Amino acid sequence: MDDTFKLPDDCTDMREVRTGVDRTDRELMDLLDRRFGYMRAAARIKSDRNVVRDEARKAEVVANAAKDATMRGLPGERIAQIWDMLVECSIDFELDEWDRLRP
């Protein structure tokens, strides 16, 4: 796989676009790996399983993502849906980690 890539405004053909998308997807996976690492840390730090789900925090995170997306000219409502799924997945992961750490 070609690791060289151009930024979107510099792309002149679909090969360059696809290379950029593939590179960006790998970078997103690196960021998701780090984000889920924080979920592992939270599972380790929280002493009560019942505090893993925090609806107020979830709403704040989703709203922040939607606001940031809108400010960048991205579809805020759709990004909010993605973030809602991301947070729900993160909560499930954290619960699994919490249980794993406390057999």
Q: Give the HSE-up count for residue 68: Cα atoms under 13 Å, Cβ half-sphere.
A: 9
pLDDT digit string, tens, across residues 10-51: 999 999 999 999 999 999 999 999 999 999 999 999 999 999
8-101 has CATH 1.20.1080.10 classification: no
Q: Residues forming the annotated binding site?
A: 18, 35, 46, 94
Give the start-to-end residue ranges of the domains of the chain: 8-101
CB atoms within 10 A of CB 58: 16
Rounded-to-integer distance, Cα 16 and Cα 12, Å: 7
Mean pLDDT of 54-70: 98
Confidence of residue 4 (pLDDT cuts 50, 70, 90): confident
Q: Residues forming the annotated binding site for substrate?
A: 18, 35, 46, 94
Rounded-to-integer distance, Cα 43 and Cα 46, Å: 6
Report the predicted TM-score, pTM, of the whole model to 2 decimal places. Answer: 0.90
pLDDT digit string, tens, across residues 48-61: 999 999 999 999 99
Q: DSSP code of 72?
A: T
